[in-house]
């Protein structure tokens, strides 16, 4: 038996032993999770000024992780960190930041949106963080197969805070 044939048969047997087709496509019905660009950060000011000296704190949504369980329904689990840095105008060591979780269907229809509050307690180093964990349920696997779902995260900002973020 020529050496080439022997190597080819060995490769075929090795691939067969893996019991996995390398060309197989796995379709997941799990919703994608993302932070919305201009509203993934928040800068809160003390008073009406917007100078560096007026910054109460700056917060960001980071370290987004997601997982999913598929069965008769689809349950998407997500966790993320809200981290903040104190500014020179911070007076309260404990602040509450509002954020939202929105579920979109086919990238354009908002199926649901829920607002939450995260409590941040600043340490002596001027930083604060909290990990938030949530689950989103798509009631039936048929719905998950028919539509593409995604979960969007962001801070619930005031119009002035949005304008500030867009200018940065």
CA distance 49 to 66: 38
User: What CATH number is attached to the domain comprising 46?
Assistant: 2.60.40
pLDDT over 90 (residue 29): no
* Domain boundaries, position 148: 28-167
Averaged pLDDT, 27-33: 79
Note the pLDDT tens digit of each residue in 41-82.
999 998 888 889 899 999 999 999 999 888 888 888 999 999
Asked if 60 and 43 count as a contact pair (C-beta separation under 8 A), the reply is no
SS3 readout for 26-67: CCCCCCEEEECHHHCEEEEECCCCCCHHHEEEEEEEEEEEEE
Note the pLDDT tens digit of each residue in 74-130.
888 999 999 999 999 998 899 999 999 998 888 888 988 999 999 999 999 999 999
Is this model's pTM higher than 0.85 or not?
no
The answer to whether residue 3 is domain-embedded is: no
The answer to whether residue 89 is domain-embedded is: yes
The answer to whether residue 4 is domain-embedded is: no
Q: Distance of CA 36 to CAs 43, 75, 96, 123, Å?
A: 16, 21, 20, 28
What local confidence, expressed as pLDDT, does residue 58 receive?
96
Note the pLDDT tens digit of each residue in 141-162.
788 778 888 999 999 999 989 9
Task: Give the residue among 131, 136, 34, 16 at the shortest CA–CA distance from 76.
Answer: 136
Helix (H), strand (E) at residue 97:
strand 94-105
The answer to whether residue 22 is domain-embedded is: no
The answer to whether residue 9 is domain-embedded is: no
The answer to whether residue 13 is domain-embedded is: no
The answer to whether residue 116 is domain-embedded is: yes
What's the total number of domains in the chain? Answer: 1
The answer to whether residue 11 is domain-embedded is: no
What local confidence, expressed as pLDDT, does residue 88 receive?
94
């Amino acid at each position: 038996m020529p050496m080439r044939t022997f190597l080819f048969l060995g490769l075929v047997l090795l691939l067969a032993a893996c019991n996995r087709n390398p060309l197989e496509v796995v379709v997941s019905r799990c919703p994608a999770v993302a932070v919305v660009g201009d509203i993934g950060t928040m800068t809160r000011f003390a008073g009406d000024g917007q100078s560096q000296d007026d910054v109460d704190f700056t917060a960001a949504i980071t370290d987004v992780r997601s997982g999913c369980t598929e069965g008769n329904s689809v349950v998407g689990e997500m966790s993320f960190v809200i981290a903040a840095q104190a500014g020179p105008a911070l007076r309260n060591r404990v602040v509450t930041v509002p954020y939202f979780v929105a579920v979109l269907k086919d990238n354009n229809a908002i199926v649901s949106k829920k607002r939450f509050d995260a409590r941040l307690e600043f340490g002596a180093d001027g930083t604060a963080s909290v990990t938030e964990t949530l689950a989103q349920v798509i009631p039936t696997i048929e719905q998950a197969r028919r539509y593409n779902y995604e979960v969007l995260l962001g801070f619930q900002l005031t119009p002035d805070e949005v304008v500030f973020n867009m200018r940065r």
